[in-house]
Structure 1
Amino acid sequence: MESADAGGRLSDAELRELARLLARLAEHDLDQWENWRLQTSQGPVYVRVSRALESDWPEDAFTTIWPPMAQMSDGHPGDGRPGGWTVWRQDDNGNRYVVSRHDARPEADRVAETMESRGHKQTYWVTRSA
């Protein structure tokens, strides 16, 4: 019998494997949709995997996770400018920190949303990298 403890945070390799498994599910087993509920220590989480885009959701609200995109280097090649998007965090004392930098806005938004969804009490936001 499997343990009810889901374990710690996913590694990058585990996230890639999750994306691969979801793509496999969508390719071979998904008819119209799947609705799942996960019981977590922070309350239930609802997951919907669907072939149809809900009418009130814009397509650009979704991040493509399959096929995997080649990792791009920081900055814009050849022009000397830093590039992409920066995820920032502000703590309860007003101190601001860079959390991470990303080439694509959806990826940066996903990081900020993930940090917020984990119950961190800090404020997270995304800006254009300077």
Structure 2
Amino acid sequence: MEVSPSPPAVHAAPLPPELADGVFPIGCPSRRVLDHITSKWGVLILLALSEGEQRWSDLRRRTEGISEKMLAQTLKSLERDGLVTRTAQPLIPPRVDYSLTERGYELTALLLPLVQWAFDNADEIINGQS
């Protein structure tokens, strides 16, 4: 007789009807926002900025492996989405600072548990352990 595995201790709540009916269609605007905020670089830049205002060079160092082009594209997307603010300082040489908006901080607070879960489980997942 085959025994089925026990259900996990933590269960996700079912999707609310407005999400179940709205988030899956191809034209849903939330899909574009999800694409920006759940990209590897988007999450890492948001987390870096949750530590406080940073310059371009600080973000490039903090987010190891990101190219200049990808950093620029990701920051522009996050700025367009209202998650990041870009402030040009009237200095010579020019200086630009980046920081989270209130919406960016709200999002980062939601991302932290996901990132913590990924950090806590990465070794087992990558090594194929259950």
TM interval, short-chain normalised: under 0.3
By percentage of residues, which structure has more strand? 1
TM-score (normalised: structure 1): 0.26
Larger radius of gyration: 2
Instruction: Answer 1 or 2: higher relative contact order, Cα 8 Å, separation at least 6.
Output: 2
